[in-house]
Amino acid sequence: MNAKLGKTTGMRWLVKMGLGGVMLAGSACGLSPEASSPAVETAEVQQRATTAPIGQTIWLRAGTNGKIVSADRNISGNAPLVANRDAPQGWEKFVVGSAGGDYITLRVQETGAYVSADPNNAGELTGFRTAVGEWEQFLWVDFGNGSIGLKAKSTGKFVVTDTNRGGNAPLFADRATAGQWESFSWGADGGTTPPPSGSGWVQVWGDEFDGTSINTSNWAHNTTVHVNNEQQQYTSSSENVQVSNGTLKLIARYKPTNGYPFTSGRLESAGKREFGHGAVEARIKMPVGPGLWPAFWMLGNDINSVGWPQCGELDILENVGYADWTSGALHGPGYSGNTPINSQFKAQFVNNPVSNWHTYRTEYSSADIKWFIDGQLVKTVLKSEVTRYGAYVYDHPFFIILNLAVGGGYPQGVNGATWPYPGVPESTSNLIKATPQVMEIDYVRAFQWR
């Protein structure tokens, strides 16, 4: 892992390392709650698992007593879920994830552990599991009246808050049908009410590169950054940055300029298109050759005032010229440079190299950051994992960077090449001399959850 520096126009940055309606009721012993309260469920509703707020951090308010659901481990080491809190804090917030098909997972924000419904203990819900199996999967059922139900895969039953099972109102997945007792209202971080039924990720911006030049309302060239011992001079020339046939091309050429053997292109959306919590994705194909260093990444828009890494950096995609892997990473105060928050992704490229089209996406919120390749979640980093090292600096707007570097510290740390150029072996130098190498971008899009 080696250094990669960022900058906005005219501002030099520090070096970074790259790698990669409350319903009140109670049930009496021996009496089914549904016998004394009108059911809100119909057969149709019972089976309707709607789109859950995947990627969002939520809290749940029980219809039984109007209290917030908690997984506080200070109550018990096994962290049974109880509905006894007046307001949501860390123990009362859950990150919603996809478990495949119609099923979701709920992950306790405070610990990163999964909510589970153990069928061996009457389906009692706990929040201490470290891996996902059938016990940790639930259907998110929309009752169409502003409330939802959860149906556990392990028991096939709805989750209920039953105050007759204890003063803390524990949760069990053991009700065959759903009524008010099995209903929960919910809210997400940043709002007090859930989004409308059927909502989800909404595109708020995009560049499809349908013209013949870059859209200057979206992008600016950066031609003055020289960092990490990289061997390219960035230019604004059409030799290095082109828009044609519906794609953006960043092109590395052998053309000694300003003391650098290669030229290439770098675009930034700083001051033009900046995005808070949401998702950003791009469809990209990349050149292959050790030492080529394409990247799709983001930096905090406060970099000019607080500097790097305090601004935060989110590397969505990096590659150093190998066909069978990419990497992603976070950089911030206490975890920059040779950052411990990084991963290499290989499985997606076994029979489908990086030189083919792939979609690279990140989703970032106040609770976590996720990486996706071709729609598959490949990594999740919780806020609690980041704050082990330093401040979580991903709660403000970020801008987007696309660039194709050649050589430098990160490639050299992988390929070991020192000649003819740092991080660029002779085979790749000859490759670029013979044929300019191209990073091609089909589109870049930004989304928000609504």
The string of pLDDT tens digits covering residues 245-258 is 999 999 999 999 99
User: Predicted confidence band at 363 (pLDDT cuts at 50, 70, 90)?
Assistant: very high
Does the pLDDT at position 313 exceed 70?
Answer: yes
Return d(Cα 439, Cα 248) in angstroms, integer.
8
Determine the average pLDDT of the residues in 425-434. Answer: 98
Task: Look at residue 144 and tell me whether its pLDDT is greater than 50.
Answer: yes
- Third-level CATH fold of 33-182: Trefoil (Acidic Fibroblast Growth Factor, subunit A) (2.80.10)
Of 70-84, 377-391, 424-438, the least confident: 70-84
Cα–Cα distance for residue pair 345/288, rounded to 1 Å: 16
Q: Which pLDDT score is estimated for 167?
A: 66
* pLDDT recorded at residue 164: 74
Mean pLDDT in residue range 101-117: 87
CA atoms of 81 and 93, how far apart (whole Å)? 12
> Residue 316: what pLDDT?
98
Average pLDDT over residues 338-345: 95
Where does CATH 2.60.120.200 sit in the chain? 2-19+202-449
pLDDT for position 106: 94
- Of 24-38, 248-262, 319-333, where does mean pLDDT reach its minimum? 24-38
Closest CA to 160 of 142, 148, 141, 175: 175
Q: What stretches of 26-180 show up as alpha helix (H) in DSSP?
A: 43-47
Residues whose CB falls within 8 Å of the CB of residue 438, separated by 6 or more in sequence, listed in order: 249, 250, 251, 252, 287, 404
Average pLDDT across the chain, whole number: 84
Q: In the chain, list all ranges with CATH 2.80.10.50.
A: 33-182
Q: What is the pLDDT of residue 18?
A: 36
Whether the per-residue pLDDT at 12 is higher than 60: the answer is no
pLDDT of residue 56: 82
Report the percentage of the chain scoring pLDDT > 70.
84
Reference 360, options 381, 378, 383; nearest CA is 378
CB of 296 closer than 8 Å to CB of 280: no
Q: Which CATH number applies to 2-19+202-449?
A: 2.60.120.200
Q: Please give the Cα distance from 281 to 412 (Å, whole number).
A: 28
Place of tokens 């119609």: 102
Q: What is the pLDDT of residue 196?
A: 44
- pLDDT: is 339 or 47 the higher one? 339
Would you say residue 163 has pLDDT above 80? no
Nearest Cα residue to 135 out of 149, 121, 147: 121
Which residue did the predictor score with more confidence, 397 or 162?
Answer: 397
> What's the CA angle centered on 380, arms 376 and 383, to 5 degrees?
155
| Range scoring the smallest mean pLDDT among 80-89, 425-434, 439-448 | 80-89
Q: Which long-range contacts (CB under 8 A, 24 or more apart) does 132-137 make?
A: 132/99, 132/105, 136/99, 136/105, 137/99, 137/103, 137/104, 137/105
The more confidently predicted of residues 144 and 438 is 438
Q: Which two tokens stand for residue 207?
A: 């560049």
Distance, CA of 180 to chain centre: 34
Q: If you compute the radius of gyration of the chain from its CA atoms, what whole number of angstroms results?
A: 25
Region of poorest pLDDT, from 11-15, 201-205, 343-347: 11-15
> What is the per-residue pLDDT for 122?
84
